[in-house]
Each structure stands twice: as structure tokens, then as C-alpha cells.
Structure 1
Amino acid sequence: MAANKIETKEQFEELANKDSFLLIKHSLTCPISGAAFEEYESFLEDHGAVKTAYLAVQEARELSNHVAETYGIKHESPQAILFKNGQPVWNASHWKITADSLSKAVKE
């Protein structure tokens, strides 16, 4: 399953109003973010049924800031945030984003 890229608040709100989904904040210029994104893609190979989306911070700064301000989660990049019933229930950043940590988060 291909990664679902979002860039607007409307796209985000549509996902947030569903059951649950995993959001990845990705920097296009950071090597750590690149490694985390590879882990995310690896996670997707085994968890195709999980709703996910990612945003590229450089291309969707307004959306990235909206998520940080709306949910009170300090912006970091890379960052993974799991939403259930429209609220964040788990988040991780930098080297803590692994296929394994994402897998464990969605199973809880």
C-alpha cells in the first residue's frame, strides 16, 4: 500500500474524523527523517490495512503547525502521531520511529 501524502487541514480533518490513523511528519532534508520514513514504509508493507498519512514539513508547514497547536504536541521532525477517535493517543520522534514501534503502537 502506498503512503498517503496530505497537505491541507481539510485532508487532515477528514482523516481525524475517522476511527484511527497514523500521521507521519517528514522532513525532506533531514537524514534522520529519511531513515524514519524508510521505517514507516517498511511498516506499511506489513500493515496495509492501517490508515496512515504523511506530510512533508517543507511543503505543508501550515498543516504541521496546525497539528502541533491543535493537539498540544510539540513539533518535531520526524514525528509519528497515532490518532484514535480524533485525539492523539501515542507519539514518537526521531530514532524512536521504527517499523516495530509503529507496529506496537497500532496494536495497543
Structure 2
Amino acid sequence: MIDWKKLDDKDMLKAIAEDHSDKTFVIFKHSTSCSISAMALNRLERSWNGDEMDKVDAYYLDLLSYRDISNAIADKFGVDHESPQVLVIKNGQCIYNNSHMGINYQSLKEQV
């Protein structure tokens, strides 16, 4: 089970971008009205292994409620907006991103 933190404030995004510890952040951008997004989220949650990902902070962004934060993510990390989309952030940089059916646990795990 993923221990999601709700990304609902630009200050949270700023803290993620400015973190230069060994911490890894995963941001999942989810459209609550999209069936593909729901399927990608479900696949990720079913595969997630908390023991393997214990050093990862996972953030969930509801795109419909917080589009401004999604836009800020695109600007800050230089990644075109897509939905659904997953980003891996380390040392203030986006080191990996994928969208739609390209979102999978194994690829995320390889980045950690």
C-alpha cells in the first residue's frame, strides 16, 4: 500500500524541489475523471512494495482540484504536462517521468 501524501500546496512542491538530501520523491498526477488515470493508479498501487520503497515519499496530486500545482511542476522540472503522469524527483531534479500506460512500479523502483 502506498502511503500517499496529498500534494495540495505550492509550498510542498517548493520543499520537494529544494530537498537535497538522499530522499527520493514520487509525484503521481491523477485526473479523477479519467479511466486511464484510474487504471494507472490502480496498477501502481497493486504493485507497490513498501519495504522496497521505504525511502520514498509518495505524493498524490488531484489535477482537477490543483491544476495550478500541476502547471508549477511542469515549469519547475521542465516536463510537459500529461495525465496521468508520474515523476521521480531527487536532489531537486526530475530524474524520471512517464505517463499513461508507461507508468509502472518496476521502472520507478529502478530509479530509487
TM-score range with shorter-chain normalisation? 0.7 to 0.9
Aligned to 2:40: 36
What does residue range 1-108 of structure 1 map to in structure 2 within 5 Å? Answer: 1-18=2-19, 19=21, 20-42=24-46, 43=48, 45-46=50-51, 47-106=53-112
Structure 2 portions without partners, runs of 5+: none
Q: TM-score, normalised by structure 2?
A: 0.84
- Whole-Å Cα distance in 2 between the matches of residues 48 and 35 of structure 1? 24
Aligned Cα RMSD in Å? 1.6
Cα gap change, 1:44 to 1:34, in 2 (>3 Å): farther
The two structures have a TM-score, normalised by structure 1, of 0.86
- Which has the larger share of helix? 1
- The 3 A distance-change label for structure 1 pair 45 and 35 is farther
Structure 1 residue runs of 4 or more that deviate by more than 3 Å after TM superposition: none
**Number of aligned residues:** 106
Q: Secondary structure of 1:65's partner?
A: helix
Letter matched to residue 71 of structure 2? N
